[in-house]
Amino acid sequence: MIRIFKICCLLSVVLSCSTPKPAKKPVQLAFLSDVHLHDIYANFSNTNYKGIENPVTGKYNVIRSMDSQLHSTRLFNENYFAFQSALQEVAKRGIKIVALPGDFTDDGQPANVKALKSILETFEKQYDIQFFITTGNHDPVRPFPRPGGKHDFLAEDGSEQIIVSDSSLMRQGSYKNPPIITPDVQFWGYQDIAETLSGFGFFPKASNLFWQTPFSTYNFDTYNFDLAKSQSELDKRTYNVQKSTLKIPDVSYVVEPVEGLWLLAIDGNVYLPKNETSTEFGGASGNGYNGVIQHKKHLVSWVKQVVLEAKKHNKKLVAFSHYPMVEFNDGATNELKQLFGDNKMQLVRVPNLEVAETFASLGLQLHFGGHMHANDTGVHKAKNGQTLFNIQTPSLAGYMPAYKVLTFNDDTHVKVETVVLDSVLNYNELFPLYEKEHAYLKASQASKIWNKEVLQAQSYLHLTDWHLKELVRLRFLPNDWPEPLKEKLLNKTGKALLLSVQDASNAINLQILEDLDSWTINDMLVDFYRLKLSDGLVYKQIGAARLNQYKMLSEALQKGNDADLKLFGTLFLKTMSGQPSVNFSINLNNNSIKALED
């Protein structure tokens, strides 16, 4: 009997050793940035105003005008549908952790923040998704509440409707439509936004394995939920900026949502007071990490501490915030400054080299940013040999709409996938209302009316492409491009520009000249913005043949004698290059990056 028992035990050991353990599911996260959610079905708390009735759906909509959208770097209305379509895709992929790197609403208005909360709670309950948020320059617009609203909502007849939170924001003169005044469009500050969205990272949950802020007195070894909760109140998470006596909240946190993964959410907003005694602050848009390393030095010290703790306890560390940590112009920032000046092309948002060096030298390896509405990968190797990978997440509210998926294959090998959002349910639901707007603008003989072909868009992706083309025509070219440079470029064919810088006696293939004659520099400039915003995502849309033609022309411009055209040629070539940014893998051991097939 004893012998039989020993044999059974031996068989049990052998079988347990030979039976393979089920493969551990890779850790996956999705990053959805710059959603700029606007509640197009808003119900205001103090007024009977319901918006304008859609003649097709019968629903009432509170929306911004198409004209305002086509002068902005983002869509205000259709992204309401795009965000939920993206979340549906994420849910189908089985991804259970989603990070939002700032600008999750448009200006942190109560109506929009509450709409976001409702959407996130729905997906949280239905698909068991954990959401983690960090702040952007649009949420909050300023650290403390202030009057807000817009003058470019759409009225029933296609004209503009003013909706503000305070009569002080009304312009002098009469209004075609009676102004709507409601507190639901004020600009909320930190307190209201963080408390309303308290369940999405800003405060600890009992289910978190770890949660900490820059102001916590505990570490991973001494952590417990009750202690974290007691130290999470916003009045215990403040700092002074410059010589201001006002204490500003900092809602940064690190959280362990699943075993072995630390998400580091950095509040990169820097608001500077107008003067030493002022309670009025400037916005955070142009400060970014240049401002952080100067005015929020406590964050740098804390990030260093988090990196060391993560290594000590063998945690996978992923940072995300609204602002980029590494230059995002593919090394063309100097050319942009020389051509356009320091205050154009969003150059005030470019982080200084000191920023990249600071965070790379701390040992931070992975950071997902937003703010630029652009797809890009920046890599910086610090003097101490440490390497930082800054992965820019595109906006869902502009061209090319996409989100990022990060997969940990193991502790040191990660894969990054960029998922383009093409099909969006109901993307054209509001088009009948824009028809009214266009008719009104035409009847009133408005100048520079937007192109009605926008309303022929066959998909959400197509709509964002039209948005970009009109943005270039209505805003970027008139406002950003110097007149002398435009005179040298606009309305010329590629062939004409080539012959203007290259001696006609030089042998030029006739087929090449014919190809260059089939498009204008205006087309090339639209593709310049497509490349600048989308990087490798747009290669297929432009096509290899056209990209080669742009390359040949740009190289010819570099060899010419015109200083501006030489710079433009260099700028275009750099914009066509850069680190892998679509689908790629990163080896965190040797700090290498490799492009993967789309």
pLDDT of amino acid 274: 82
Rounded to 5 degrees, φ, ψ at 215 are -105, 0
Say if 91 falls within a structural domain: no
Helix axes 494-501, 544-559, angle to 10 degrees: 20
For residue 391, list its beta bridge partners.
368, 377
Would you say residue 206 lies in a domain? no
3-state secondary structure of 389: strand
C-beta contacts of 113-116 below 8 A and 24+ residues apart: 113/139, 113/188, 113/192, 113/193, 113/196, 113/197, 114/39, 114/196, 115/37, 115/39, 115/41, 115/42, 116/35, 116/37, 116/197
Contact in structure between 260 and 281 (CB atoms under 8 Å): no
For residue 443, pLDDT beyond 80 = yes
Per-residue pLDDT tens digits for 521-550: 999 999 999 999 999 999 999 999 999 999
Residue position matching structure tokens 């807000």: 148
State the average pLDDT over residues 331-359: 97
Q: How far is CA 35 from CA 101, 263, 336, 560, in A?
A: 9, 20, 27, 43
Q: Which residues of 253-275 are buried (b: 16+ CB within 10 A; e: fewer)?
A: bbbbbeeebbbbbbbbbbbbbee
In a domain, 435, yes or no: no
DSSP code of residue 455: G
Neighbouring CB atoms inside 10 A of 284's CB total: 26
Cβ-proximal residues to 175 (8 Å cutoff; 6+ apart), any chain: 162
Percent with pLDDT over 70 in the chain: 95
Tokens of 372: 């630029």
User: Is residue 487 a part of any domain in this protein?
Assistant: yes
Q: Residue 533 in contact with residue 400, Cβ under 8 Å?
A: yes
- What is the pLDDT confidence band of residue 13, given thresholds at 50, 70 and 90? very low
Mean model confidence pLDDT for the chain? 94
Give me the pLDDT at residue 507, please: 63
pLDDT band at 249 (very low <50, low <70, confident <90, very high): very high
Contacts of 429 (CB under 8 A, 6+ apart): 54, 56, 57, 81
With a cut of 80, say whether residue 486 has pLDDT above it: yes
Distance in Å from the first CA to the final CA of the chain: 63
Asked whether residue 8 carries a pLDDT value surpassing 60, the answer given is: no
In this structure, is residue 47 part of a structural domain? no
Asked whether residue 181 is domain-assigned, the answer is no
Question: Quick one: which of 194, 188, 190 has its CA closest to 112?
Answer: 188
What was the pLDDT predicted at 5?
42
Residue pLDDT, tens place only, 347-362: 999 999 999 999 999 9
List CB contacts of 266: < 8 A, sequence separation 6 or more. Answer: 134, 252, 299, 303, 319, 320, 321
- Total domains present in the chain: 1
Predicted pLDDT of residue 10: 43
Give residue 18's pLDDT band: very low, low, confident or very high (50, 70, 90). very low
In a domain, 501, yes or no: yes
- Which range marks the domain in which residue 492 is found? 459-575
pLDDT of 136-193, one tens digit each? Answer: 999 999 999 999 999 999 999 999 999 999 999 988 777 889 999 999 999 999 999 9
The 10s digit of each residue's pLDDT in 107-138 is 999 999 999 999 999 999 999 999 999 999 99
Phi and psi torsions of 325, nearest 5°: -100, -15
Tell me: the pLDDT tens digits for 279-316? Answer: 789 999 999 999 999 999 999 999 999 999 999 999 99
Q: How far apart are CA 484 and CA 487, in angstroms?
A: 5
Residue 534 lies in a domain: yes
With contact defined as beta carbons under 8 Å apart, do 115 and 194 qualify?
no
Residues in a beta bridge with 390: 367, 378
